Structures are given as C-alpha cells and as structure tokens.
Amino acid sequence: MEEDLKIMPAHLLVESMYKAINRRDVAAAINFVDDDCIYEDLNFPQPFRGKEAVKQLFEESCQGLPDDLQFVIDEITVGDPFAAGVLWHVELDGIPFPNARGVSFYRLSEKTGKLIFARDLVEPPVKLGKAAFWIIRLVTPLVRRLLKSQKSNSEKLRLSSPQATEVEPNQRRLSVLLWILSAAYIYILLLSPPGQIVPGEPAWAIQPETLQEIFDESLNFFFVLPVLNAVGINYLNSPTIHPVIEALFNFAEAWIFMFLPLMLIDQRAGNLPKLPIWSMAMFLTNGIICPYMALRQYNPLPQPQNKTQKSWLAPVFGWIGLIVGTIALAWGFVGRPEFGDLAQRGQYFGEQLLTNRVTLAFCIDLVLFSIFQAVLLRAVNPSQSKRRWLSYIPFWGLAAWLIMPPGSGAGDSPA
C-alpha cells in the first residue's frame, strides 16, 4: 500500500479519499494522510495538526451523517502529481444540498506520497453580497490603525518584559470568535437587507423618519436639553420622544460612557488608540467595541502587577454614568406622563423590539456591555481583589468600581 501511495497522482489520491469519506470509512481515508499533515478547515479557528487530529476531524464530520449525504467532485486539477485543486458540492439523495459547495486544495508529501497539507473553504450559509464591501470599507481604517498599534505594543512587550507570556491557542480562538461576533453585529444590525434577519432598514437604506429619530435622541443626549428646558432655558427646544426609547438610548450611552476610564488602565490593550476607539464607540457602540475586544484578546497577557492606578477620570465618569443611567430608568417608567402607564409603555417597547432595528440594536448592546464589562473589570483587578465581584453586576458594578476610592488589596491603589 505504501508503494502505491508514493506513486499515486494527487488527483487520484484525493478522489480515493473522497470515496472513503462517502463510505464513512475513516480508517481508509486516514490511510492517505501523512503523519505530519496540516489540515486547514476554515470553519475552524485553528488548523488540525498531525494525523491523529485529522482523524478526529474526519470522525466528527462523518458521525451521524446519513449514508445518502455525499461529497461530489465537480472538477479536479490533474497536471501536478503532488498537488490538486477541487471544486465540490454536497448532495442529499442525489439532490444538491443548499449552500453546500466548496473549494479545496491538497498537497502531497514528496517523501511519503501522502497528504501533507489541505485547505477547505466552504460556502457560507449567509450571503453578504455587496454588503461585504460595506463591512470592509467600514472597518478597514479602524483595523489598520489597531493592528499597527497592536504590532508596536507586542514588540515593546518583548523588549521591556521578556517574561511576557505568548498568546495561548485558546486566546487566539476567542479572538477569532470575537471577530466573527463583530462581523455578525455589523452585518445583521447595520447592513442586512430589510426583513432578511431582523426587522427595520439597514444603514444603506435608512428612512428619513429613522434618521429623525436618531437625531432627536442625540439632541436629548444625557437629558441635557430636557433639563435645560425644565429650568426655563429654551435656546433649543427638546424634541418630544417616547420616554421608553429615550431612556434606552441614554442608558446605553451612559454605560459605554463609563468604559473610558476602564479601557485606559487595561494593560492588555497596550498601545491601542483607546480614546479614539471609545469616541467612535459612543456613536457606533459594539460596531467598534467588538473589534476592540477581539484585538485586545490577541495581545499577550501582561506580567502580573500589584497595583493598577485609576485616573481622576474614574469617579467623575462613574458618578455621571450612574446619575444619567438612574435618571434614564426612572424616565422610562414615569417620564412624559402623556405617553401612558407602565402597561402601555411595556407594550410599546415590545412592538419596537419587533419592528425597529435601532431599538433591537440597543438591547443587544446592553447584553454585550455586560459581558465586556465583566472581562475588563476582571482584567484590571487582581485575583485577590475583594472588588472582583463587581464585574458580575451589569452597569452598577462598573459605576461602583469607578466611584470607589482606592483601597488596600483592591487592585486599584495609586502607584
């Protein structure tokens, strides 16, 4: 068998491997694989290294599949004895399976004649279409700047702290998942066509009434205009907005507002441009924070330090965020009485959640803020800190941590 494999052209070996997979004969399929094979399935964040890892991939991919689900080769290159490219699709009972096409590249070892490298690219279930260009244009300037800062920071870490840990594989996987979350957030909430996944219109087809809604919410940012009007200062009149939507907007803005002092002392983020990132996040929320968390996650863990200094901004931002957030919640329940009682407001919120993409986006923002707050607070508080429990209390935990004075063993003592 070894001699046969050494002289078997790449396209014949690949065809034989496909036939074995279609028979669910993993033992036969893995016999075509070299001990040092690197198999890249781009559905996974990391390649499968070595024959045993590839065997596990084959076994998991075959497990539970019906016998009539088959991989069908459409075209395969035949000119190179040690390499082959394949166009393929999947059929179920002879019928092409939807969104199940792919392209693969295979290279054989010249020493063993077995598969030494493979890369599979599978058709995505969600078609971005031209929206992919919007995503690229939207995130490219930010990503370029963040990546340059990340590279500079990594080099400084290596020079200044030789004991700084490398990025572990599970941290890389988490970074990849965060990038996927970022792309999903941007596509689904900002770019997906009306009615495809979520209600409402995308950014590229936004309606004038939605723009007006966003503009009015921005004018009532942190309730500054309503408060000024209430005390008789009417240089600019506050727009009349439903208090539930007004409250949701300001609560979310108060929360992301409080992230700045936390981001500034996060050592893992290194030299990423935190102030510009936070400034953009005040407008685009998790369209910016998700990519920031993905890049931050890929940075090496800094060496443990006994002290982390909160700046003077911390209590200021904490008090402002706490006051605005508390007012926002009360405003949503009792503000502008002409908009009805609690039951009517609850019904209105439910309707908006099902029909208004902006409302849905802010609700998703609150969930992600809870997660990212916990990650960042735990990062800046050492394991022995008595204040780490605050990371698990959404919004108020962050406000309390910012407001609290430095304490012994709390992990935020002045240096």
Residue 306's pLDDT is: 46
- 165 pLDDT above the threshold of 70: no
The token pair that represents 91 in the structure block:
């059929």
One-letter-per-residue 3-state SS of the chain: CHHHHHHCCHHHHHHHHHHHHHCCCHHHHHCCEEEEEEEEECCCCCCEECHHHHHHHHHHHHCCCCCCEEEEEEEECCCCCCEEEEEEEEEECCEEEEEEEEEEEEEECCCCCCEEEEEEEECCCCCCCCHHHHHHHHHHHHHHHHHHHHHHHHHHHHHHCCCCCCCCHHHHHHHHHHHHHHHHHHHHHHHCCCCCCCCCCCHHHCCHHHHHHHHHHHHCHHHHHHHHHHCCCCCCCCCCCCHHHHHHHHHHHHHHHCHHHHHHCCHHHCCCCHHHHHHHHHHHCHHHHHHHHHHHHHCCCCCCCCCCCCCCHHHHHHHHHHHHHHHHHHHHHHCCHHHCCHHHHHHHHHHHHHHCHHHHHHHHHHHHHHHHHHHHHHHHCCCCCCCHHHHHCCCHHHHHHHHCCCCCCCCCCCC
Q: To 10 degrees, the CA torsion angle through 97, 99, 100, 103?
A: 150
Residue 414's pLDDT is: 35
Residue 361's pLDDT is: 94
Residue 325's pLDDT is: 96
Residue 53's pLDDT is: 93
Domain with CATH 3.10.450.50 in the chain: 2-122
At 336, phi and psi to the nearest 5?
50, 75
Q: CA 328, CA 325: separation in Å to the nearest integer? A: 5
Strands of the sheet with 48-49, listed across from one edge: 48-49, 33-41, 115-122, 95-108, 83-92, 69-76
- Which among 30, 179, 48, 34 has a CA at the least distance from the CA of 119? 48
Mean pLDDT of 179-208: 86
Mean pLDDT of 162-188: 77
Residue 59's pLDDT is: 92
**Residue 412's pLDDT band (cuts 50, 70, 90):** very low
Tens digits of residue pLDDT in 257-288: 999 999 998 888 877 888 889 999 998 899 99
The token pair that represents 28 in the structure block:
């036969």
User: Distance from first CA to last CA of the chain, Å, rounded?
Assistant: 68
Query: What's the predicted TM-score (pTM) here?
Result: 0.62
The token pair that represents 50 in the structure block:
């070595």
**Fold adopted by 2-122:** Nuclear Transport Factor 2; Chain: A, (3.10.450)
- Which among 363, 365, 347, 355 has a CA at the least distance from the CA of 210? 355
